[in-house]
Amino acid sequence: MKVKYRLFGGWRSLMAALIVSSFLLLASVAPASAQSATATFNYLVGSASRPDVARAPSGDTISMSGSGTLSIHPDSVTGSGSFTHKDASGTVKATGTWTALQLLSFVSYGSSPGLPPTFEGGKALVLIHLSPSAGGSGFDAVLRITCLVGSPPPSADEGIRLNVQDVINFNREVSGFTLFIRTSA
């Protein structure tokens, strides 16, 4: 399993971040129902102090953090967070917020022994809207969130990708910490 945790100082820091983040999310979650006809997850994209980073072929980077929920059958998504776009030299080109609009797809990779059974890996494609702090109408984009818990494909990388169609495609994970937390079956 290929795992990238460059922003964390090792396994202990990763586990501490997992535990803290999951407690923050689970504090507002109702107990799961075994009778539920849908699967519902909370999701994490980085954190305010350690955002996920993706790079475009031009060398530009996007740093993102946020959280939300997604449900399967019927497909739905909520969520929001912040972003910073920098050019290849590190100059900030834009900052702002993002909001989830539509769940395009989700594939679960399952859970891993040694972690809480509600922690799951997977890949979600979410249509989001980027709202720059400088104003303007913003941009719609497809956010790919990948978590390597469970049994991911060998070619998968932890983190995010962001495609702002016809503008810029941040198609390479640089560093990241993402997680899906199952809240109902």
At 74-92, the pLDDT tens digits run: 899 999 999 999 999 999 9
In this predicted structure, what is the pLDDT of residue 185?
Answer: 77
- Where in the sequence is the domain holding 74, given as residue range(s)? 11-184
Residue 31 in domain: yes
Residue 156 in domain: yes
DSSP state of 31: P
Cβ(130)–Cβ(111) below 8 Å: no
Prediction pTM value: 0.81
pLDDT tens track for 55-66: 999 999 999 999
Lowest mean pLDDT among 17-26, 128-137, 159-168: 17-26
Instruction: Give mean pLDDT, residues 100-119.
Output: 96
Residue 1 in domain: no
Residue 52 in domain: yes
- Beta partners for 102? 127
Residue 3 in domain: no
Residue of 157, 135, 168, 139 whose CA lies nearest to 60: 168
Residue 6 in domain: no
Q: Mean pLDDT score of the chain, rounded to an integer?
A: 84
Q: How many domains is the chain partitioned into structurally? A: 1
Instruction: Give mean pLDDT, residues 9-26.
Output: 40
Q: Cα–Cα distance between 51 and 37 in angstroms, integer? A: 33
Residue 125 in domain: yes
In this predicted structure, what is the pLDDT of residue 37?
Answer: 53
In this predicted structure, what is the pLDDT of residue 17?
Answer: 45
Residue 134 in domain: yes
